Amino acid sequence: MKRKIVFLTGAGVSAESGISTFRDADGLWEKYPVMQVCSVDGFRADPALVHRFYNERRRQLLEVSPNSAHKAIAALQDRYDVTVVTQNVDDLHERGGMDPARVIHLHGELMKVRSLTHPDRLFTLAPPDLDTTPLTRIGGDPVRPHIVFFQEPVPMLEKGVEAVEQADMLVVIGTSLAVYPAAGLIHYARSGVPVVYIDPHPAQVPHGVTVLPLIATEGMERLSALLPPPVV
């Protein structure tokens, strides 16, 4: 049975592809007040603005490609049982070669919308029909971005916790570890399981975590020397 490696990824793993981050200098939150475009109250107050914001994010996503960090993570699937638990709403892990069934999106998916009347109904958007408005209907249903807004629970959190609890190695990449509850996942790794944290500006982490103060692509190159031997 293959060893289980779980990657917990944040905005830093996609930043090198050209995806605008939210919290860095000149990030999206500098341009858009977060509670206006990513909260329950904001969506109720101005749904048209929220739809426009995510329409822009989808168009940007079409202009970028997976980088070598995404591809390096996916390449490990040949030797390990790999799961990605990501805070990112882009699809770059999947486009980089990850099995979509092994990617857990904690905060939703940009290329999907969901029904306002039947929240379990999800719809995947594809070019050229990427834009939505408050008047958009799919299958007769009004829709909203499939994004976990502030003031909402994180429905995939339990699956993320379960993945980390089962990991034989946890690798945290490109996250400030400032957004909860996702940041708390690092604490679910079993005692004795190696944990590696890759970020150019690493946050404080528990004792025993191996910190690589590198960007994602460089960190993935360094990670190869830290990986456990595959089970033959």
| Strands of the 137-138 sheet, one edge to the other | 122-124, 108-115, 141-147, 137-138
The residue behind tokens 């919308």 is 113
Give catalytic status of residue 93 as yes or no: no
Task: Work out the end-to-end distance of the chain between its first and last CA atoms, rounded to an integer number of angstroms.
Answer: 8
Between CA 122 and CA 198 the distance in angstroms is: 33
Cβ-contact 130, 59 below 8 angstroms: yes
- Tokens read off for 194: 């190696």
Nearest to 14 by CA among 27, 1, 32: 27
The residue behind tokens 């509670």 is 35
Active-site choice (105, 107, 118, 187): 107
- State the pairing for strand pair 141-147/81-86: unpaired
List, by residue number, the catalytic residues.
107
